Amino acid sequence: MAQAKKDLVIVESPAKARTIEKYLGGDYKVIASMGHLRDLPKSKLGVDIEHGFTPEYIPVAARSDVINELKKRSKEAGTVYLATDPDREGEAISWHLKELLKISDEKARRVTFNEITKKVVQESIANPRDIDQDLVDAQQARRILDRIVGYKLSPLLWRKVRRGLSAGRVQSVAVRMVDDREKEIQAFEAQEYWTLDADLTDEATHKTFEAHYYGKDGKKVEPTSGEQVDGIIADVRAEGDKALYRYAEKFDHVVLDDLLVSEEEMAEGLAQGRQILGVGISSGGPMDAERGMLCNPPNLPGWSGLSLTDYARARLHAPALLENDANACALAEWRFGAGRGSRLLLFLTFGTGLGAGIVWEGRILRGANGNAGELGHWRMADCGPAGYGKIGSFEGFCSGGGLAQLGRLYGAACAQRGEPAAWMEGEVTAKSLAEAARAGDAAAQAVFRESARTLGRGLALVVDLLNPDCIAIGSVYARSEDLFAQEMRRVLEREALPQSLAACRIVPAQLGDQIGDYAALSLAVEAAGRA
């Protein structure tokens, strides 16, 4: 009877090899690769810059004995388990081993050991996966960039500065940033500036409020002298009782009144002795929440400088609070939705854009100047869809607009292969992509997998940094959780600290299309509580 083939397990460390072989038993042979067995040549650049930065890998000469043994063992083995370290470098070593040893896809399996215990080793062998090409590409990009910078920039330093100096992809950029900053400091010219604040009183309600001078006729003015400030004060005094509405005059008051419930509409309730306890206003930014003022909002042109809270207080005779919509929705989910009972809730909008609100024990975390939670700005890749004004941003991959961009990219690739996607014939939206993915379209499913992978990496950063006990994700994710959850979870389990991830619920937001109403209500409750 022919003897059954042993399975081969390749690790990096000889010490690990002996321990793992003991845990797996006689059906397995464990051998150490001793690190990388393929690399770029030392004698030349080894990167074809003119043809897509294609690398030229060669076997490491000093490891020829190891390579020969692994080639022999892999041919004799049944299954080959690539068990290099669970990081970007380890993933690349596994890929190089597969290529160098010419191991077929059917025969190769990737496993990782987060700890060298019998239980973990045996469970990992029982649950192999494919090589993560994203991690491999990340390592290759780093290695190629190191080579290009080292071989191209270091010789320049030798000629221009001093022989023996080395350049690196990080240190060279850092030196440039330091140099640029120093030049800015040296070129700085001190300039006088003034701010103008006033405590004003509404004649109708006799309530006082603080106002900050922004400008005139919608144009920002930054005073640079005491004489200029005196002139502004004189102009304001000349306007008399119009001062409260001096910024609102350029707006249609009907629009503002429609946004606020009028006294007439609540006449019956007020007649019964009820009163308005608070007013909540949820809006897109940017804004100065402390002053209740919008600051050049891109989606509300012409509204900059208007104090919505001052207007609401004067109109409804009640305390008012303005808040970024992501923060307001986070508070709503904490009070009424998916975050009820949580200590630290992170809410992701995942709608037209990607923003976040953070609620810690019932309080919104706003940061030093109200910009906490702007994770849509994170760059998740050097290339990819644009969002938040940045290519490859978190918002570019994880928003309705980002999904549409990804869809068009994948659709164009399908068309080039002569396999046009039917959903490309009309407008590409997150909704149309979701419908196509659920109908079995492979390209649409690939779009959601890519978005889900980025979402998983981003959430892993959040989980490790904030250690939240709940993450609620709204809009597009809430409607299409079935297309995101599996791939997102796979990446999360690979990237995040296990103990932090275990303590965190990741769920779709619960308030749906009514979240805006609940957001305003939550702010109204907070405004009343501050009064």
Three-state SS for 235-295 is HHHHHHHHHHHCCHHHCCHHHHHHHCCCCHHHHHHHHCCCCCCCEEEEECCCEECCCCEEC
Q: Tell me what percent of the residues of the chain surpass a pLDDT of 70.
A: 88
Query: Is there a domain that residue 129 lies in?
Result: yes
Question: Distance of CA 439 to CAs 122, 418, 422, 442, 488, Å?
Answer: 38, 20, 11, 9, 21
* Single-letter amino acid code for the residue at 191: Q
Same domain? For 84 and 174 the reply is: yes
The CA distance from 34 to 29, in Å, is 16
The CA distance from 284 to 304, in Å, is 12
Q: What is the pLDDT of residues 245-289, one digit of tens each?
A: 333 333 334 445 555 554 455 545 555 666 778 888 888 777 888
Bridge partners for 219 per DSSP: 216
pLDDT band, very low/low/confident/very high, at 301 (cuts 50, 70, 90): low
Residue 239, pLDDT > 70, answer: no
Out of 196-210, 264-278, 400-414, 467-481, give the one with best mean pLDDT: 467-481
Query: Is there a domain that residue 414 lies in?
Result: yes
Q: Which of 108-112, 419-423, 507-511, 523-527 has the lowest mean pLDDT?
A: 419-423
Question: Distance of CA 283 to CAs 126, 261, 331, 360, Å?
Answer: 51, 17, 14, 21
Same domain? For 221 and 101 the reply is: no
Radius of gyration of the chain (CA): 30
Q: What is the pLDDT of residues 184-228, one digit of tens each?
A: 888 878 778 788 887 776 655 667 778 888 887 777 888 888 778
Q: Which of 137-146, 278-287, 299-308 has the lowest mean pLDDT?
A: 299-308
Residue 361: predicted pLDDT: 92
Residue 14: predicted pLDDT: 87
Same domain? For 67 and 127 the reply is: yes
Same domain? For 38 and 185 the reply is: yes
Same domain? For 357 and 423 the reply is: yes
Residue 241: predicted pLDDT: 34
**Burial tier of 190 (Cβ tally within 10 Å: 0-12, 13-18, 19+):** exposed
Same domain? For 424 and 356 the reply is: yes
E-state strands within 343-487: 344-348, 356-360, 363-364, 386-387, 390-391, 470-473
Residue 232, pLDDT > 80, answer: no
Q: In what order do the strands lie in the sheet with 505-508?
A: 363-364, 356-360, 344-348, 470-473, 505-508
Residues 413 and 432 sit within 8 Å (Cβ to Cβ)? no
β-pairing, 197-201 vs 279-283, is: unpaired
The CA distance from 277 to 524, in Å, is 8
Task: Show which of 167, 189, 211 is a domain's final residue.
Answer: 189
Residue 71: predicted pLDDT: 92
Bridge partners for 66 per DSSP: none
Residue 466: predicted pLDDT: 96
Query: Is there a domain that residue 505 lies in?
Result: yes
Nearest Cα to Cα of residue 109 among 96, 88, 92, 128: 128
Task: Show which of 138, 167, 189 is a domain's final residue.
Answer: 189
Query: Is there a domain that residue 288 lies in?
Result: no
Nearest Cα to Cα of residue 319 among 278, 368, 369, 274: 278
* Contacts with 401 (C-beta within 8 Å, 6 or more apart), sequence order: 352, 353, 387, 395
Same domain? For 316 and 387 the reply is: no
The CA distance from 456 to 458, in Å, is 5
Q: Which of 52-56, 114-118, 248-252, 483-487 has the lowest mean pLDDT?
A: 248-252
Query: Is there a domain that residue 524 lies in?
Result: no
Q: 61 is written with which tokens?
A: 């000469």
Same domain? For 255 and 149 the reply is: no
β-pairing, 47-48 vs 54-55, is: antiparallel
| Domain CATH number, residue 414 | 3.30.420.40
* Single-letter amino acid code for the residue at 305: G
Q: What is the pLDDT of residues 157-168, one digit of tens each?
A: 778 778 877 776
The CA distance from 127 to 110, in Å, is 9
Same domain? For 173 and 27 the reply is: yes
Structural domains counted in the chain:
3
Nearest Cα to Cα of residue 13 among 99, 87, 83, 101: 83
Query: Is there a domain that residue 293 lies in?
Result: no
Q: Tell me what percent of the residues of the chain surpass a pLDDT of 90.
A: 44
Query: Is there a domain that residue 79 lies in?
Result: yes
* Phi, psi of 119, deg, nearest 5: -60, -50
Calculate mean pLDDT across residues 122-146: 91
| Domain CATH number, residue 161 | 3.40.50.140
Parent domain of 260:
201-275+306-324
DSSP state of 6: P
Same domain? For 486 and 448 the reply is: yes
Query: Is there a domain that residue 290 lies in?
Result: no
Calculate mean pLDDT across residues 24-37: 90
Same domain? For 181 and 266 the reply is: no
Same domain? For 265 and 140 the reply is: no
Residue 426: predicted pLDDT: 81
Q: Which of 202-211, 225-234, 509-518 has the lowest mean pLDDT?
A: 202-211
β-pairing, 505-508 vs 470-473, is: parallel
Q: Which of 8-12, 50-54, 174-178 has the lowest mean pLDDT?
A: 174-178
Task: Show which of 189, 209, 239 is a domain's final residue.
Answer: 189
